[in-house]
Structure 1
């Protein structure tokens, strides 16, 4: 036998009644959620403009809307919120008590959203942040003195952290090591498909460097003499062999590579003291104390010109601090005519030993 309580007897549940649920929200909360779900959030921009201007025409001008468009939006907002929100005055409009209450609650959040979506102009003088940049010792020697001096004056609170430049690990460095920017050569065009961008700063020209008085400094530099000499070169992190050896292998040629170094700054000291030769960037001579002790020649197989430039991930395309830093580097080091930004590069353009 089923016993009915007085409540169940007086209010029997019918098929059309909603099933009772302990998790059902109060009706007022449901009503508020329904109002928000159906609200065109663009109407909040109209509401904010009307609260600020207290005049329909001026609010329309601030929003680049006609007076009729603002009036129409106000009517929709009144219908959605169930209140007049504003009433006419001799000089324009004024909010109702409910409209004023709504604005007092909405204003802090609206202003915060407005600030996020319309950030203030980036000011390097007051910016306190850090950038992580990957570059080789060759690049750092040419970039950092001028960049450091610029930051000292124009962005004194900025911090820079340098990491070794790795050709093969470029994409993982952006993904896992969190670098903001890389500056270097040997860019792989296929990397662009993985979201990397690039902008050239200057070209790198390479020739065969050796000490003055080297047996190969005079006479014709034949392929036989060149290949049989003792060679040195540089392998940066992630490289399996020097770039010039890749080029020779494409021609079915192999040279007598004896010494592989991991930094460019070591190479000229070794060349000046030994009979090694190396196909290296001629701009190494520009800042080296060993320049007067070395000469250069064209190798039998020329090393193609390589662009050295900025590399960044597309997710940083619109980051204000990073846009600023990239522009600083371009302004300091890029040449609009495509020429080298490295000092005295043209001094090493002749084909004869120097």
Structure 2
């Protein structure tokens, strides 16, 4: 019997809950199972995938690297399965009304163009609203149904929401080809001293997510400009002798130069999230199933 024949949906839901909770007791409570049942399902999963999947820690589990990669595929598979089951009562070409997506500036550049293309092609009667991501009002907007889907980063999303990890991203250090640092290989200390532009769309200030990474090396960045969005930063780089740390996928078509570093900032997840109240909505499931997961 093949390994696929030994898998069932319940096992994958257990895996998904363990990834989210990193605790067998909490996963069991979420699924309405006993902790023993969760342990039995985990034992079968380990046998099927030939990997420990989770390593015990003091108060729960830590997923193995294989499990972390597998979780992206499992999330996508379960969403696609839900959409498949909903297809009998949902036809995209007949879908009407308005679907509202709240997205970060980054997501609007990188993720939404292909998603919107699919939505327009397959659901031409469905109207779309894309609004800027508002971290302080997101929960109220989604609780009231004024926003159907959020595309952002995990730190911005309430823990109770349903989440689909789309891919991992990382920052790269960039500058204009005309800057004085272009073409050089500076030390990390020199990079920290160089005039820096940050994008701070949620709360305007001079501190970004990269600052904590620099502090690990005992360094503090010389931030001189805070911009409201990622997309405007390359234009500022063109007119100032400065650098910036931007997500790698957001610079693929931009006229910027990458500065090589001896160390790289930690990667981060890009996710889609929605209120659990609307998880079983056929339109919601279908839209989420169109998101590209890597």
What's the secondary structure of 2:90's corresponding residue?
coil
The structural deviation recorded for 1:189 is: 8.7
Q: Which residue of 2 aligns with 1:334?
A: 293
Which of 258, 265, 268 is the equivalent residue of 2:231? Answer: 265
Q: Which residue of 1 aligns with 2:111?
A: 143
Q: Check 1:251–1:313 CA distance in 2 against 1; reply closer, same or farther (3 A cut).
A: farther
The runs of at least 4 aligned residues of structure 1 exceeding 6 Å deviation read: none
Which runs of 5 or more residues in structure 2 are unaligned? Answer: 1-85
Instruction: Judge conservation of contact 1:233–1:261 (CA < 8 Å) in 2.
Output: yes
Q: Does 1:304 align with 2:266?
A: yes
Q: Which residue of 2 aligns with 1:313?
A: 275
CA distance in 2, matches of 1:261, 1:278: 11
The structural deviation recorded for 1:156 is: 0.8
Relative contact order, higher structure (CA 8 A, sep 6+): 2
TM-score, with structure 2 as normaliser = 0.63
CA distance in 2, matches of 1:168, 1:209: 30
Q: Check 1:311–1:250 CA distance in 2 against 1; reply closer, same or farther (3 A cut).
A: farther
The structural deviation recorded for 1:123 is: 0.9
Instruction: Judge conservation of contact 1:226–1:300 (CA < 8 Å) in 2.
Output: no
Q: Which residue of 1 aligns with 2:174?
A: 209
C-alpha offsets along residues 17-53 of structure 1, whole Å, 9 cap, x if unaligned?
xxxxxxxxxxxxxxxxxxxxxxxxxxxxxxxxxxxxx
CA distance in 1, matches of 2:128, 2:227: 26
Q: Does 1:280 align with 2:226?
A: no
What's the secondary structure of 2:115's corresponding residue?
helix
The structural deviation recorded for 1:169 is: 4.5
Instruction: Judge conservation of contact 2:150–2:274 (CA < 8 Å) in 1.
Output: yes
What's the secondary structure of 1:188's corresponding residue?
helix
Whose radius of gyration is greater, 1 or 2? 1
Q: Check 1:190–1:299 CA distance in 2 against 1; reply closer, same or farther (3 A cut).
A: same
The structural deviation recorded for 1:168 is: 5.1
The structural deviation recorded for 1:190 is: 8.0
Q: Check 1:237–1:173 CA distance in 2 against 1; reply closer, same or farther (3 A cut).
A: farther
Q: Check 1:190–1:283 CA distance in 2 against 1; reply closer, same or farther (3 A cut).
A: closer
Instruction: Judge conservation of contact 1:134–1:179 (CA < 8 Å) in 2.
Output: yes
Q: Within 5 Å, which residues of 2 pair with 1:107-256?
A: 121-167=89-135, 169-175=137-143, 178-185=146-153, 187-188=154-155, 191-192=158-159, 195-238=160-203, 241-249=207-215, 252-256=218-222
Instruction: Judge conservation of contact 2:189–2:219 (CA < 8 Å) in 1.
Output: no
What's the secondary structure of 2:181's corresponding residue?
helix
C-alpha offsets along residues 97-125 of structure 1, whole Å, 9 cap, x if unaligned?
xxxxxxxxxxxxxxxxxxxxx99611111
TM-score, with structure 1 as normaliser = 0.53
Q: Does 1:324 align with 2:269?
A: no
Q: Check 1:268–1:176 CA distance in 2 against 1; reply closer, same or farther (3 A cut).
A: same
Which runs of 5 or more residues in structure 1 are unaligned? Answer: 1-117, 336-354
Q: Check 1:172–1:244 CA distance in 2 against 1; reply closer, same or farther (3 A cut).
A: farther
CA distance in 1, matches of 2:127, 2:221: 43
Please report the RMSD computed on the Cα atoms of aligned residues, expressed in angstroms: 2.6
The structural deviation recorded for 1:233 is: 0.8
